[in-house]
Chains A and B, each alone.
Chain A
């Protein structure tokens, strides 16, 4: 007569064990990865030179980081999912590659308006000023302008790729705010983006 009761008790114990093991596994996987990630350095030094941000069908898009001392932020997220964030001193550079959907041409003016919207997804108050034309060292025409109204001031730059199938976007900011966006930001805007046609080495 004690059989079924004992059976029920042992089943209840096994179910309790399964519950505890499952919750422990969830906590271990979720918490363990977070703790391990937080314990490691939040940035990684990157050597000077070009860092690839997109490997498209026609062009490889890279950012050239001038001089030494740049680090890649490992926990910060850029405005787009594949964007990368670099820092040096008080300067912060978000480098992204975007590809308009379908057969849509990457038009600088259109992408400028789009970038304004994308920035507002993380800061509702931010506004992009009317852009000015900019020409990269590589000879690519783009647009450049400043943001205002947000928690952080940016110098924004857009360069459509020569094939107009994608575009590179830069967001440069400084710990010193708008006042810190001086010569280094302008230099980055003009020299950082490099489009390399497929089949050729980096410039």
Chain B
């Protein structure tokens, strides 16, 4: 991009941001018109009800988790604090990485935090008592001890936990309809829900390890448990499995929740895949040595493949939408398509005079908004 060209762009940008005119306005307003048809109005009764349900269930879950774990944390404060610190660190790291996994730009902070909260408290608070009750049911079932234990391992995690996490992703899609409109957004929001659950589970197992270790060497037991779960299975468990379930929710949201077309069986297949992959990690086979680690790596490979397909499709659509609007925005198609990347937007901002960067950033935001709307609402 030449200096003159930048200057010309700057002038047009300055004029375009407050009131886009000509084809740009058509593109932006057109996208808005499509959105009005496909998106519910912000703050609809359903969105408010879904948000209230998320808040209530998370509050209840937090109470259940606190009652369950407070006793151990009070007697072994050093081990609990260390485990908490390590878990908080993995949460922060995962939160940053997974939000960045959304192509073009990260999901909003509100929906991201709500997703993590659902995993940490909502799904965990629902799963803890349900899993205990399933254990009691299986013990009553007439199965012998080992068979009941085996079925417990298969049913508890894969079925109850995956379904409770999935329910949260659906509620998030209803409460934050603008943030979850397609499979790639579902993937990232689902992964954040799974991350929250994974961190809550890591903390639970860490402090339980202190007690199961006989109350000796508490710190070592807690640290060992967290590290083992992060290093050995961390790459392919809850965040990855819920990413698949989130993709399923994204597919349904993209279809305006209609129960027709290819998206329904595909969504069901993705949820089933999450349950089956969870079952494989929990199953008491192929557990010697690095066995569980290999199973987690397999899950990671599957989920990564799904991610790259989704990312490629979404980016391609956003780039095409941006290129379409190039003429009206004073950018050439290549420059417009480069806005689909964070680096491309940064480079354009750096090239602009400091005084214009604020308004140029807003212009980029509007262009990307419109392009994402078109990309997400494109029907196959």
Does B126 touch A at the CB level, under 8 Å?
A: yes
B34-51 contacts to A, CB under 8 A, are 36-38, 40, 44-46, 49-50
Asked whether, in the complex, the Cβ of B167 is within 8 Å of the Cβ of A22, the reply is yes
**Could you tell me if B71 and A82 are in contact, using CB atoms closer than 8 angstroms?**
no
Q: Is the CB of B53 within 8 A of A23?
A: yes
Find out whether the CB atom of A7 lies under 8 angstroms from the CB atom of B37.
Answer: yes
Query: Is A37 in contact with B214, judged by CB distance below 8 angstroms?
Result: no
Candidates A14, A34, A44; contact of B256 at CB < 8 Å: A14
Q: Could you tell me the distance between the alpha carbons of A75 and B212 in the complex, rounded to whole angstroms?
A: 19
Contact residues in B for A42 (Cβ distance below 8 Å): 136
Least CB separation from A116: chain B residue: B215
* Complex contact B214–A99 (CB within 8 A): yes
Known: A19-B171, A37-B133, A167-B214. A81 touches B208 (CB 8 A): yes
Whether A14 and B220, one on each chain, are in contact in the complex, defined by CB atoms closer than 8 angstroms, is: no
Interchain CB contact under 8 A, B133 and A34: yes
**Do B46 and A12 touch (CB < 8 A)?**
yes
Chain A count of residues within 8 A CB distance of the other chain: 58
For the complex, give the distance between the alpha carbons of A77 and B135 in Å: 11
* Residues of B within 8 A of A (CB-CB), count: 52
Task: Out of B37, B75, B139, name the residue touching A121 (CB < 8 Å).
Answer: B75
Q: Which positions 68-123 of chain A face chain B at CB distance < 8 Å?
A: 72, 74-75, 77, 79-82, 98-102, 104, 106-107, 110-111, 113-118, 120-122
Residues of B within 8 A of A114 (CB): 213-216
Q: Chain A nearest CB: distance from B194 CB in Å? A: 17
A19 touches B164 (CB 8 A): no
Q: Do A40 and B216 contact each other (CB < 8 Å), given the known contacts A101-B221, A121-B211?
A: no
Asked whether B137 is an interface residue with its Cβ less than 8 Å from the other chain, the reply is yes
Q: Is there a chain A Cβ closer than 8 Å to B286's Cβ?
A: no
Given A40-B140, A52-B145: A111 and B40 interface contact (C-beta under 8 Å): no
Does B170 count as interface, using CB distance less than 8 angstroms? yes
Interface pair B170/A34, CB less than 8 Å apart:
no
Least CB distance, B65 to chain A, in whole angstroms: 15
Contacts A23-B53, A29-B130, A33-B130; A75 near B136 (Cβ below 8 A): yes
Contact of A102 among B49, B126, B177, B220 (CB under 8 A): B220
Bound: A29/B76 CA distance, A: 34
Decide yes or no whether B209 CB sits under 8 A from chain A. yes
Contact A101 B209 (CB under 8 A): yes
CB neighbours (8 Å) of B177 from chain A are: 15
Distance of A124 Cα from B139 Cα, bound (Å): 30
CA distance A126 to B216 in the complex (A): 18
User: Is there an interface contact between B213 and A100, defined as CB atoms closer than 8 Å?
Assistant: yes
Please give the residue numbers on chain B whose beta carbons come within 8 Å of chain A beta carbons, in ascending order: 36-38, 40, 44-46, 49-50, 53, 57, 71-72, 74-76, 126, 129-130, 132-137, 139-140, 145, 160, 163-164, 167, 170-171, 174, 177, 208-209, 211-217, 220-221, 224, 252, 256-258
A–B Cβ pairs within 8 angstroms, 30 of them: A8-B36, A14-B258, A16-B46, A17-B257, A18-B252, A19-B171, A22-B170, A25-B163, A26-B126, A29-B164, A30-B129, A33-B137, A34-B130, A34-B133, A37-B136, A40-B140, A51-B145, A74-B139, A98-B213, A98-B214, A100-B214, A101-B216, A101-B220, A102-B217, A104-B220, A110-B216, A113-B216, A114-B214, A117-B75, A117-B215
